[in-house]
Structure 1
Amino acid sequence: MSEQPLTDLSQPEPVSGWNAAISSWLPAVILLLMTIVLWEAAVRIFSISSFIVPAPSEIAKSLVAQWGTLMQATVVTAGEILFGFLVSVVVGIALALVIVRFDWLGRALYPLVVLFQNVPKVALAPIFILWFGYGLAPKIGLILVIAFFPVTLSMLAGMQSVDRSLLSLMNSVGASRTQILFRIRVPHSLPSLMAGTKIAATLSVIGAIVGEFAGASDGLGYVIQFASTQLDTALVFAALLLVSVLGIAFYYAAEILERFVVPWAPKFSRA
């Protein structure tokens, strides 16, 4: 009589992609819906003026009524964010490579980079407007000074955490510093770099909005500022909602990019 193989109960059944996505997003969706319901109820029960805090239904009405204007502003702001983010990533990577490759220049640059990061970025916005005018350049400059630092710092941390025995091995076979940099340090730093780009993606949204606050004729930051002067609080919240959507979109775009760049990272490995 043949024995039936026992099922290994210690190994969980693999979860399908859709089920994993639903289980990941469901708590956030439930919490968001609960917040909206409680918000709407609180505004109606306590008769809070829409001038102070508009109800979600009022925000939705403003979103529908101003849909064309808001979509045009969203496209403008999204373009600024994308361009500024790409410039920030390029500059951040270049700085990290220079600091690691050239010791003397790295010792000179790194303290200046940290010092520059402590400068209030809001204070730089009017200066950039004065230097570059009211076009795209001041927004890109502001995004750059806000978003490049996490890229540089994350890549530096990755490149400087390489196993010393591996570096000694490369030195023993006669590898140059440039070869060690691009064959060992840079590949090793990619997971850390991608984590820094996700931070930079969200900071780029902040930089674009601050730049539009300082001086712009279009974009979500301009809409928020204009609606504030008109005491249209519902429109302010509608624009803020779209800013949040942009932030989430850019963050998860960086997350998807991370899956393509470092699919071998431990966070993506399957059990």
Structure 2
Amino acid sequence: MNRSGRRAFINSLPSLALGILLLLAWEAAIWAFDVSAFVVPPPSSIAASLVENASILGGATLITAHEILVGFALATLCGIVLALLIVRFRLLGQALYPIVVLFQTVPKVALAPIFILWFGYDLAPKVVLIVVIAFFPVTLGMLGGLQSVEPGLISLMRSVGARDNDILLRVRIPNALPHLMAGMKIAITLSVIGAIVGEFAGASAGLGYTIQFASTQLDTPLVFAALIVVSVVGVAFYYAIEVLERAITPWSPRFDPAQQH
């Protein structure tokens, strides 16, 4: 294990220790208070369900992960394009930005059945719902970066004959990258939620469908097992975006819990 790997392992030890303590406390509380596994299953039952239903959960994970990736990619693209349009074309931006904010206030759960009605039960309604849920933080992050350039730098570029497009490509977009990555990290977590909500509204496969089906069968351990898999998928995608952030914007500051005092 290299130095960075050892450091990551050491930094993860407090979280691992706390997680193990919580699981032990959970298991002990279930047995001490004689709580039925139908109501709240102990971690041992959830682990057994994970092993027993590994093939089902594995197939469902692939389906949900595909929905998340496609929806997130389109949400990121839409967010970037909207931010560029708002910044580059002033009148369009003045008209478009309030509509974007207004659209964000619409309850997305209410839109899921409508998308199912419009697009059917396949991939499309889940992807559309993810885009609707996840594009906003990308747009805001990109906008913040595009508009936070030092005015003196813009004036300097104009003094040497740079046009608006030159300033956008050479100054504004590079400045916006750290802000964009921050918005993408929020968007990927929202994409996971969007995929599950879309599967709740109408699906025949996926982790959301598995959770809903297990609930109808009163299989509480499987419900918790699927929830754990969803959480692991979300965390994996989040840290994948962090790795991408380190590769694209190595100069930008980032949160390091090991350095907090």
Residue identity matched to 2:46:
I
Please list every run of at least 4 consecutive aligned residues from structure 1 whose deviation after the TM superposition is greater than 2 angstroms.
Answer: none
Quote the Cα distance in structure 2 between the aligned partners of 1:40 and 1:162. 53
Aligned to 1:174: 161
Quote the Cα distance in structure 1 between the aligned partners of 2:14 and 2:104. 36
Aligned to 1:52: 39
Aligned to 2:81: 94
Q: Which has the larger displacement, 101-110 or 23-32? A: 23-32
Quote the Cα distance in structure 1 between the aligned partners of 2:77 and 2:169. 16
Q: Does 1:264 align with 2:242?
A: no
Aligned to 1:39: 26
Quote the Cα distance in structure 1 between the aligned partners of 2:254 and 2:118. 44
Between the two proteins, what is the percent identity of the paired residues?
64
3-state SS, counterpart of residue 178 of structure 1? helix
User: What does residue range 167-206 of structure 1 map to in structure 2 within 5 Å?
Assistant: 167-206=154-193
Q: Which runs of 5+ in 1 are unaligned?
A: 1-14
Quote the Cα distance in structure 2 between the aligned partners of 1:56 and 1:159. 47
User: What does residue range 1-271 of structure 1 map to in structure 2 within 5 Å?
Assistant: 16-267=3-254
CA shift at 1:23, angstroms?
2.6
Per-residue CA deviations over 1:82-105 (Å, capped at 9, x if unaligned) read: 111101111110001000000000
Per-residue CA deviations over 1:121-172 (Å, capped at 9, x if unaligned) read: 0000000001100010000000001100000000100111100000111112
CA shift at 1:17, angstroms?
1.5
Q: Which runs of 5+ in 2 are unaligned?
A: 256-261
Residue identity matched to 2:187:
A
Quote the Cα distance in structure 1 between the aligned partners of 2:184 and 2:37. 38
Quote the Cα distance in structure 1 between the aligned partners of 2:24 and 2:37. 16
Q: Which has the larger displacement, 186-195 or 171-180? A: 171-180
Residue identity matched to 2:151:
R
CA shift at 1:265, angstroms?
1.7
CA shift at 1:173, angstroms?
1.7
Quote the Cα distance in structure 1 between the aligned partners of 2:183 and 2:245. 11
Structure with larger Rg: 1
Residue identity matched to 1:71:
G
Which is richer in helix? 2
Quote the Cα distance in structure 2 between the aligned partners of 1:18 and 1:133. 45
Query: How many pairs align?
Result: 256
